[in-house]
Structure 1
Amino acid sequence: MAHPYVHAENSAKRFGGKPEDYLAIHEWFDATKAWYPEMTHRSMRHHSEGIYECAALFGETFINSDGKRVYTRYVGEQHVVEDLKFIPTASDWLECMDMQLWMMNRSKRLSEKVIERKHGFPDRMPSSVSPPVENRPQGTVKSF
């Protein structure tokens, strides 16, 4: 959506205080742009688990410059919703990623044999390895 300061201005309008009261939180959410400067950087923190991680890092609540107590989680939720229009889970992001051999931290030779024998794809895991998202029990990890 926007620069962290724009998010901070929106927080000040919503919760009171000044944009500077919220800027560090919004900068934390968007700091992953330095790691990967594409919109998929959001997969690192723009999810429900990231919101709770933010509250653990910045504290459950804080007092803004108007003297009002603000829940850090609410500020995080505002940031994610402004960017994505909803709050996904980390699993929602991960389910959209294709498994690569190097992610399995095993002997490439062994991994290639298993994948080739099972699926005939030596260089990457096919998305057909696990059941479709709608058939998978909620909160489970893809099977390999």
Structure 2
Amino acid sequence: MAHPWHHALSSAKKFGGLPEDYLAIHQWFDQTKAHQADARHRALLHSSFGIFLCEQVHGVTLTNSAGRTIPIRVIGEQHVQEDMGGTIPTVQDWLAELPLRPWMAVGAQGVRVAQEELPSVHRGTRPKPARAGTGQ
């Protein structure tokens, strides 16, 4: 989806209430667009880690304007799945293709490794879509 408002409309349709009930959560997920204006911004929060972090920031539940209490994690799962083609990637999924560069390990003795010493990564793998109703 292109904008947090569209995610909020989707949440209101799915959980009831008004889009405004959900907008802050969807804006939180997409705040990284301010720093990376393409789909790579999703690498920072569009993951299982981001969903649990959202819960820490916004609380465990949200009570919408219709009086229904919705788990924040479920709203986060909806956002990530809508943007990621039905999947919820892990941090490992995002970082698997990121090459380890010497500058990343400055100050960490014994961590610097030559690129050829790093384990190979299976290219082109993506997580499987979560099954509906499993909370995954």
Which protein has the larger Cα radius of gyration, Structure 1 or Structure 2? 1
Residue in structure 2 matched with residue 95 of structure 1 by the alignment: 96
Matches within 5 A, 1:1-144: 1-85=1-85, 86-106=87-107, 111=112, 115=114, 125-126=115-116, 129-133=118-122
How many Å separate the matches in 2 of 1:87 and 1:24?
20
- Percent sequence identity over matched residues? 46
Residue in structure 1 matched with residue 128 of structure 2 by the alignment: none
1:23-78 per-position Cα deviation (integer Å, ceiling 9, x unaligned): 00000000001111121110100000100000111011011000000110000000
Could you tell me which amino acid in structure 2 is paired with residue 36 of structure 1?
A: Q
1:102 alignment partner, SS class? helix
1:96 alignment partner, SS class? coil
Could you tell me which amino acid in structure 2 is paired with residue 23 of structure 1?
A: L
Q: TM-score, normalised by structure 2?
A: 0.81
| 26-35 or 98-107: bigger deviation | 98-107
How many Å separate the matches in 1 of 2:94 and 2:14?
28
Moved runs in structure 1, 4+ residues, more than 3 A?
131-134
Could you tell me which amino acid in structure 2 is paired with residue 4 of structure 1?
A: P
| 11-20 or 30-39: bigger deviation | 30-39
**Displacement of 1:133 after TM fit?**
4.3
**Displacement of 1:96 after TM fit?**
1.5
1:70 alignment partner, SS class? strand
**Which residues of structure 2 form unaligned runs of 5+?**
124-136
RMSD, aligned CA? 2.0
Q: Larger relative contact order (C-alpha < 8 A, sep ≥ 6)?
A: 2
**Displacement of 1:98 after TM fit?**
1.1
| 97-106 or 46-55: bigger deviation | 97-106
- The structure richer in helix per residue is 1
